[in-house]
């Protein structure tokens, strides 16, 4: 069984979906049914989350240690790989912190394509490849982690082809009857790995990174990924022998799936203690996170398969709010990468909006910058926004422009600015002023793939440096009557909207 991109120990939807207590219960069910169960995590779990902002990932490690029902004992059949968010603490000064987390781990960390700097991360829990006996059979594992985050304590990342070329033949020569690739990379790279020659490609890939369930075949071999935050898990029954067969199943870990009571109690206690610590550190009331800022008349769409693929009312609300804040600097458009909005659950109509909603929604700094670029770049920016349309964080929520998205053709069309300044600004004929999170232009990030924009395009504006979280808090506090945001089809999707 495998999971990936799990940031919240207690799940989402007020604990009704996902959560590691349900993952433990599923593993226990499988172990009662099968003699041999391998539990895999395909990366991204240490960060980012509200709780990891307080404890740097300790609660996640403590909870994962309980996935075998035996905290304090090493679990030889649990294997994780590194995701890009494992490296959110990526400076050399974080080496001791990371080594401490590794030492607390009661499972195996696989890093086949990572070359560590000297005197950096070191642990007996780390391995470059793995051979695990299951009865008369041997399973070989190697991993591949994307290089989009490059911490100071990593010298280099090997590419997926050279990694597979090294480890697949090596594992087979060492007696592996089955070779598994555990990956944290984009699906196109997983597919490309499965296109490699027979002698160097794995038998099956369990992966992560997209946050969206995917079950793909390439050359008769499966690539399997679950939903983020353990909203689902992948269970694959694998038969090895003359009749080699992989039978995958996506298991929904929703409200109907009963969680393990012991792990549920543990995660709730960790969450409650974290909430209390947050308030105490700020010398606030013990229930400060429950402070009501406003309420919503309409369901706010923030679940990742929505906000990372479509225009949503929450995305519109945030982008328009930012646009208004930057109007004194003649902003034309706002471009917010949806990966910066990380609530991953919808807020039902009639719900109060609390401080904790904001803290969970924006675990990262989200400071904003005004940039100016040639209008010819806008189609390129929007083309990247819709690329790899599988709930990716680089999908943009926008303000001040409209366009039509055709997912079947993979195209953007009918792009036009909608703001009142479109024909008034002196710069409007040849350039566009856009407000973006600093992450998208920073010299210290991968820009979420928006390599066509950078810090050299920044223009002076008193609003530069404003935080989305702070702006949203102010807006909510100024809305005692509640908010009632809805879509206006600024991003018209040909698959589900009446686009004209």
What are the tens digits of pLDDT across the range 183-225? 999 999 999 999 999 999 999 999 999 998 999 999 889 999 9
Domains defined along the chain, listed by start: 2-262 (3.60.21.10), 291-493 (3.90.780.10)
CA nearest to 390, candidates 254, 255, 247, 223 = 223
Cα 100 to chain centroid distance, Å, stands at: 24
Q: What is the pLDDT of residue 426?
A: 42
Residue 424 pLDDT > 90: no
Q: What are the pLDDT digits (tens) for 281-307? A: 999 999 999 999 999 999 999 999 999
CA nearest to 361, candidates 346, 372, 376 = 346
> For residue 480, what pLDDT band results from cuts at 50, 70 and 90?
very high
In the predicted model, what is the mean pLDDT of residues 437-463? 95
Answer yes or no: are the C-beta atoms of 395 and 308 closer than 8 Å: yes
pTM of the full structure: 0.91
Q: What is the pLDDT of residue 423?
A: 45
Task: Please give the structure tokens belonging to residue 137.
Answer: 């059979």
Answer yes or no: are the C-beta atoms of 435 and 326 closer than 8 Å: yes
Give strand pairing partners of 433.
Answer: 372
Q: Angle 192-250-240 (CA atoms, 0-180°, nearest 5)?
A: 65
Tell which wins on pLDDT, 422 or 22.
22
User: pLDDT above 70 covers what percent of the chain?
Assistant: 98
Q: What is the pLDDT of residue 494?
A: 96
Residue 84 CB: number of other CB atoms within 10 A?
A: 22
Q: What is the pLDDT of residue 242?
A: 78
Residue 421 pLDDT > 80: no
In the predicted model, what is the mean pLDDT of residues 98-106? 98
> Rg (Cα) of the chain, in Å, rounded?
23
CA nearest to 31, candidates 79, 67, 71, 81 = 67
Q: What is the pLDDT of residue 216?
A: 96
> For residue 181, what pLDDT band results from cuts at 50, 70 and 90?
very high
Answer yes or no: are the C-beta atoms of 319 and 13 closer than 8 Å: no
DSSP 88-153: SS-SGGGHHHHHHHHHH--SEEE-TTEEEPTTS---TTEESSEEEEETTEEEEEEEEE-SSS--TT
Q: What are the pLDDT digits (tens) for 347-382? A: 999 999 999 999 999 998 889 999 999 999 999 999
Half-sphere exposure of 491 (CA within 13 A, CB side): 27
Q: What is the pLDDT of residue 428?
A: 47
Mean pLDDT of the chain: 95
Give strand pairing partners of 12.
Answer: 17
Class of residue 481 by CB neighbours under 10 A (exposed 0-12, middle 13-18, buried 19+): exposed
In the predicted model, what is the mean pLDDT of residues 255-261? 98
């Amino acid at each position: 069984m495998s999971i990936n991109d799990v940031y919240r120990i207690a799940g989402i939807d007020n604990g009704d979906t996902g959560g590691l207590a349900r993952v433990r219960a599923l593993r226990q069910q499988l172990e009662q049914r099968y003699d041999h169960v391998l539990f895999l995590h395909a990366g991204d779990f240490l960060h980012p989350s509200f709780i990891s902002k307080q404890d740097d990932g300790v609660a996640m490690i403590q909870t994962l240690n309980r996935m075998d029902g035996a905290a304090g004992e090493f679990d030889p059949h649990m294997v994780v790989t590194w995701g890009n968010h494992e490296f959110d603490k990526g400076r050399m000064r974080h080496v001791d912190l990371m080594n401490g987390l590794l030492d607390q781990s009661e499972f195996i960390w696989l890093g086949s394509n990572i070359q560590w700097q000297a005197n950096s991360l070191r642990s007996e829990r780390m391995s470059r490849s793995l051979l695990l006996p299951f009865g008369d059979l041997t399973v070989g594992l190697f991993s591949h982690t994307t290089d989009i985050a490059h911490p100071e304590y990593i010298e280099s990342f090997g590419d997926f082809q050279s990694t597979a070329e090294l480890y697949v033949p090596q594992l087979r020569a060492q007696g592996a009857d089955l070779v598994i690739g555990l990956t944290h990379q984009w699906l196109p790279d997983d597919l490309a790995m499965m296109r490699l020659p027979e002698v160097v490609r794995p038998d099956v890939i369990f992966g992560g990174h997209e946050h969206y369930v995917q079950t793909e075949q390439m050359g008769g071999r499966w690539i399997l990924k679950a939903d983020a935050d353990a909203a689902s898990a992948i269970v694959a029954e694998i038969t090895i022998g003359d009749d080699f067969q992989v039978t995958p199943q996506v298991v929904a870990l929703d409200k109907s799936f009963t969680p393990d009571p012991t792990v549920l109690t543990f995660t709730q206690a960790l969450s409650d203690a974290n909430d209390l610590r947050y308030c105490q550190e700020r010398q606030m009331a013990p229930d400060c996170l429950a402070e009501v800022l406003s309420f919503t008349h309409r369901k706010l769409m923030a679940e990742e398969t929505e906000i990372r693929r479509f225009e949503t009312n929450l995305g519109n609300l945030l982008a328009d709010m930012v646009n208004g804040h930057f109007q004194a600097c003649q902003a034309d458009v706002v471009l917010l990468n949806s990966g910066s909005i990380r609530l991953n659950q919808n807020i039902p109509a009639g719900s109060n909006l609390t401080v904790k909603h904001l803290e969970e929604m924006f675990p990262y700094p989200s400071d904003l910058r005004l940039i100016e670029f040639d209008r010819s770049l806008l189609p390129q920016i929007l083309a990247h926004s819709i690329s790899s349309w599988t709930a990716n964080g680089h999908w943009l929520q926008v303000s001040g422009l409209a366009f039509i998205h055709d997912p079947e053709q993979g195209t953007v069309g009918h792009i036009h600015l909608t703001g009142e300044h479109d024909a008034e600004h002196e710069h409007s004929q040849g350039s566009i002023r856009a407000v973006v999170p600093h992450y998208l232009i920073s010299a210290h990030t991968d820009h979420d793939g928006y390599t066509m924009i950078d810090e050299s395009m920044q223009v002076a504006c008193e609003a530069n440096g404003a935080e989305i979280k702070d702006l949203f808090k102010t807006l909510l506090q100024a809305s005692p009557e509640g908010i009632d945001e809805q879509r206006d089809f600024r991003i018209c999707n040909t698959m589900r909207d009446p686009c004209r």
